[in-house]
Amino acid sequence: MDLKIGERLDPRRRPLLTLIRWIEGQVLLILLAAAAALWAFLEIADEVSEGETEDLDHRLLLSLRNPADPNDPLGPGNLEEALRDVTALGGFTVLTLVTVAGALFFLFHRKRLHAAVLVGTVLTAQFASSFTKALYDRPRPDLVSHGSYVYSGSFPSGHSMLSAVTYLTLAMLIASLETRRATKILVYVLAMLLLIAVGLSRIYLGVHWPSDVLGGWTLGAAWSLVAWIMLLKLGGRTAPPTD
């Protein structure tokens, strides 16, 4: 919205101009963040493909195990059981329930675009996770016994990627409708805690290498950031904080 020299801006258009500039600035920043997350994933994937992460992966995985018995995770038995519950928060069933509940919440509040972005982002991420696992076809850790059932490739961690996609996208959509700064921060902090807990549980249970989890986090973050861009480009509005 360029103005010619001497042309006066209608005061009624100033708020609109401010909003447009604010949204455009967000898109650029989010695009750069998405590109950085995708670049990080590709760098990790390249290191994994070349075997550069193998030594560190082994050491980190074994650091969570009893030195006398690698099949015995550190800590009491109830800790292992608790982390199985945590890892389920990144499983297909729980994430599907979270996605459906989130979509219904947005639909009940007449936020059809938000519901569509959430469902579309999670569904496409599911396909992307399956594709990348088949592409890299990395074997699961064989140093320790698995504390959870597994049936697909190891890189990237599907639980880590899909929990990042689901929880970060949901947090972004909620924050876009919320004007209170404290609430915006809260939903992002909760999303981060959830995805970190899920990722660490996968390593503790011996079903993923640490680099698998890191790769899942970065790809999931990139996917969620693209969803944010789509929301803005399709007409969504992110409410600026008021306090």
Q: Which residues are known catalytic residues? A: 159, 208
- Is residue 70 within a helix (H) or strand (E), and if so which, with residue range? strand 69-73
> Which alpha helices (H) appear in 109-180, and where do they start and end?
112-136, 158-177
Instruction: Report DSSP letters for 199-228, one per residue.
Output: HHHHHHTTSS-HHHHHHHHHHHHHHHHHHH
CA distance 91 to 17: 43
Token pair in block for residue 99? 């996605």
CA distance 139 to 5: 65
What single letter denotes the amino acid at residue 45?
A
Question: In a 10 Å sphere around its CB, with 0-12 CB exposed, 13-18 middle and 19+ buried, how is residue 94 labelled?
Answer: middle
Token pair in block for residue 4? 């010619």
What single letter denotes the amino acid at residue 143?
L
* Nearest to 166, CA basis, from 207, 223, 84: 223
- Is residue 231 within a helix (H) or strand (E), and if so which, with residue range? helix 210-233
